[in-house]
Structure 1
Amino acid sequence: MMHEHHPLVGREIAIRKAMPLIVRVAADTARFSLRIDPAEIEKASKAFGLNLPAKIGETAISGEKRAICLGPDEWYLTAPLAEQEAVEQAFADLYATAVHSLVDIGHREVGIEIEGSDAVLALQSALAFDIEAMPVGSGCRTIFDKAQIVLLREAENRFRIEVWRSFADHVWGLLQAAGREIELDI
């Protein structure tokens, strides 16, 4: 029997100073990679129960469902674990009318939430682009140091990273080091 291993269970980084920074493990969720012809976006939106964004970098959120457009024909979808089978069935039914690929990637990724007025500073420690220019409500695939991540800007000072489990400890360690430097005003 295979045992599920979550590399970040029980961890939190809390930097409490005038400008706090909190890094914590995000609640688990169902995660999917969707590839579909953009001409079929309405059908995919109906199957997922959320209007999928059409522009690269845009996100759409409804309740606990989220969709991020990562490419011209690629979306990163998340939904509550309780809805995973329903999402899979809806897309299985969609095969009859729209060619697509829906892959369950929930087993390979974990989420990390970064929040606080120093969140941008912590993330800039390992990102190679100007994160301050990233609009609220947007997302992208990028590299955090050497690890591929999906980065979401949920609010001005709140971000979410989706990262492969095998890189989670590495990303966590970098955020921990950045938090320590912020705490010490280095």
Structure 2
Amino acid sequence: MTNQKHHFDASPVLVEDVVPALRLSLRVKPAHRATLAQALGLDLPARVGARAVANGTEALCLGPDEWLLTAPEGTDLASPARAVYADAPHSLVDISDREVTLRLSGPAVLDLLAACCPRNVAAMPVGTAARTVFDSATVVLWRDGPADFRMDVWRSFAPHVRSLLAQVRQEIAAGL
């Protein structure tokens, strides 16, 4: 995925919009997880917060029977899932337009996130993700590196979250 710089990027935290991608909500009973995973060619991790990647497609376990799948636009995951539906009943819903993704990176990113997120983000291992809140907005926070995160936020909350990010970035920059 390539990124487009948002209009504010001159502080110890860079905030960028990530180009749109296919985003799917998957629900399947644990007994059928392996069958569906094989059809998709992608591991569906069983541990909440665990991620798996294969051929540009990423799966995040959000619950015992819930995953968030992301892939480049144009990827067809529905056809292989549909082909095994009789053996692995599931719900696969395209939620691509519901959310936007922001990339947050830089030496002060943990301070930025701590200002509005009650979760101990510093304790999140690299390569994991979690559903949490940022101020009053439900988000999915992906930790891609020690100082590199992605934040999925519902499109309707994006202006509020962007405003908070800009405010906190300014406060961090003023304190340095």
TM-score where L is the length of structure 2: 0.93
Instruction: Tell me, yes or no, if the aligned pair for 1:68 and 1:77 is still in contact at 8 Å.
Output: yes
- Supply the AA of the counterpart residue of 1:34: L
Instruction: Tell me, yes or no, if the aligned pair for 2:139 and 2:153 is still in contact at 8 Å.
Output: yes
Whole-Å separation in 2 of the counterparts to 1:122 and 1:48? 36
- 1:37-56 aligned within 5 A: 37-56=29-48
Whole-Å separation in 1 of the counterparts to 2:54 and 2:8? 29
1:42, distance to aligned residue in structure 2 (A): 1.5
- Encode CA deviations 1:132-170: one digit per residue, 9 max, x unaligned: 111111111111101111111011100001111101111
Q: Give the match for residue 6 of structure 2.
A: 11
SS at match of 2:151: strand
- Encode CA deviations 1:91-142: one digit per residue, 9 max, x unaligned: 1222121111011000111100001111111111110121111111111111
- 1:27-38 aligned within 5 A: 27-38=19-30
SS at match of 1:45: helix
**Percent of aligned positions that are identical:** 40
Whole-Å separation in 2 of the counterparts to 1:47 and 1:79? 15
Q: Give the match for residue 89 of structure 2.
A: 99
Instruction: Tell me, yes or no, if the aligned pair for 1:25 and 1:111 is still in contact at 8 Å.
Output: yes
Structure 1: runs of 5 or more not aligned: 1-8
SS at match of 1:13: coil
* CA RMSD after TM alignment: 1.5
SS at match of 1:111: strand
Q: Give the match for residue 24 of structure 1.
A: 16
Paired residues in the alignment total: 173
SS at match of 1:121: helix
Whole-Å separation in 1 of the counterparts to 2:96 and 2:40? 16
Q: Give the match for residue 172 of structure 1.
A: 162
**Pair 1:130 & 2:125 matched:** no
Whole-Å separation in 2 of the counterparts to 1:88 and 1:165? 24
Residue of structure 2 aligned with 1:148, choices 138, 142, 155: 138
SS at match of 1:125: helix
Q: Give the match for residue 149 of structure 2.
A: 159
Whole-Å separation in 1 of the counterparts to 2:48 and 2:167? 31
Q: Give the match for residue 88 of structure 1.
A: 78
Distance 1:40 1:178, change over 3 A: same
- Supply the AA of the counterpart residue of 2:77: V
1:43, distance to aligned residue in structure 2 (A): 1.6
- Supply the AA of the counterpart residue of 2:40: F
Query: Runs of 4+ in structure 1 displaced over 6 angstroms?
Result: none
Structure 2: runs of 5 or more not aligned: none
